[in-house]
Amino acid sequence: MKQTSSLSISDTIKNQLCNLSDAVLFVKKALVEIGLLVRPPYEWEEVLYQCYKVGYKSLTLVAITGFIMGLVMTLQSRPVLAEFGAESWLPSMVSISFIREIGPVVTALICAGKIGSGIGAEVGSMKVTEQIDAMEVSATNPFKFIVATRIVATSFMVPLLAMFSDAFGMLGSFLGVNLFAQVDVQLYLHQSFSTLEFQDFFPALIKTFLFGFVIGTVGCYRGMNAGRGTESVGMAANSAVVIASLLIFFVDLLVVQVTNLLTTN
């Protein structure tokens, strides 16, 4: 029993290391193919179509989520600040929280659930129905057409979606403030942005690019490695959401630590 147990553990470790090496090679190949997008045959039409699917079709969900979170955050924070007579700090607190952390992370998680699962299921179904094999037979580079275009689209659209989330979050916060007192738009914007600095914007922007890259890469990787059965399509979509969400938190933690080191030094 003990020998069987030790063998199963060792086999599990080997499988995990093999999966990790496959993922690293997949990312390396994806980066190479992304660089080849500037060379013929051009796939920019597919990139624009994926940007439309990733960005425009997710805009409503991201905007509504950002607006509600900004409104709720304002309503919950106001009583605490009112006890200390610091209600004037509410706009700046919400803006810093949204731009630094809430907007990018929440937007990335929404995109991981909506876009990551969609990419995993779409690419997985293409693998199951042998469309990818048909592309290879017809002398089309499936990795460039399928993977590179989707990763580029998510890498550029997630930052834009995060900006929309920030904007609608500020709008929700403005509405929350005006539920209790009349605050002019100009005054609210001044209070919101007077405390913001470049180091608040730049790390958040870099973070959203990395989030988009992670979402697109994980979705494509799980889809390209789906099995032959139809059940594997659902498994690819589900695992894409789980892995992308975990990696988003890991990347967020890493960027925060690097930013803190750079700002303190």
Are 25 and 147 spatial neighbours (Cβ–Cβ below 8 Å)? no
Structure tokens at 57: 């079709």
Q: Give the span between the Cα atoms of 31 and 233, in whole angstroms.
A: 25
Could you please report the per-residue DSSP string of 131-147? HHHHHHHTT--HIIIII
Which is nearest to 210 in space by CA: 164, 256, 144? Answer: 256
At 1 the pLDDT is 43
Q: Which helix (H) or strand (E) covers residue 108, if one does?
A: helix 103-111
Q: Would you say 50 and 137 are in contact if contact means Cβ atoms under 8 Å apart?
A: no
In total, how many domains does the chain have?
Answer: 1
Give the orientation angle of helix 149-178 with respect to helix 90-97, to 10 degrees.
170
- Cα 141–chain centre separation: 26
Residue 247 within a domain: yes
Q: What is the rounded CA–CA span in Å between residue 94 and residue 72?
A: 11
**Residue 55 burial (CB < 10 Å; 0-12/13-18/19+)?**
buried
In a domain, 11, yes or no: no
| CA nearest neighbour of 93 among 109, 108, 78, 104 | 78
Tokens for 48, please give them: 């624009």
DSSP letter string, 220-257: HHHHHT--SSTHHHHHHHHHHHHHHHHHHHHHHHHHHH
> Residue 89 domain-assigned?
yes
> Could you tell me if residue 93 is inside a domain?
yes
**Whose structure tokens read 């590179």?**
148
Q: Does any domain span residue 130?
A: yes
**Predicted local distance difference test score (pLDDT) of residue 37:** 83
CA separation, residue 142 to residues 30, 45, 57, 149, 247 (Å)? 11, 15, 24, 10, 26
pTM of the predicted model, to two decimals?
Answer: 0.90
Range(s) of the domain holding residue 249: 45-264
How confident is the model at residue 168, as a pLDDT? 94
Query: Which regions of the chain are under pLDDT 50?
Result: 1-7
pLDDT score for 6: 47
pLDDT at 185: 87
Residue 223 in any domain: the answer is yes
38 domain-assigned: no
Residue 136 lies in a domain: yes
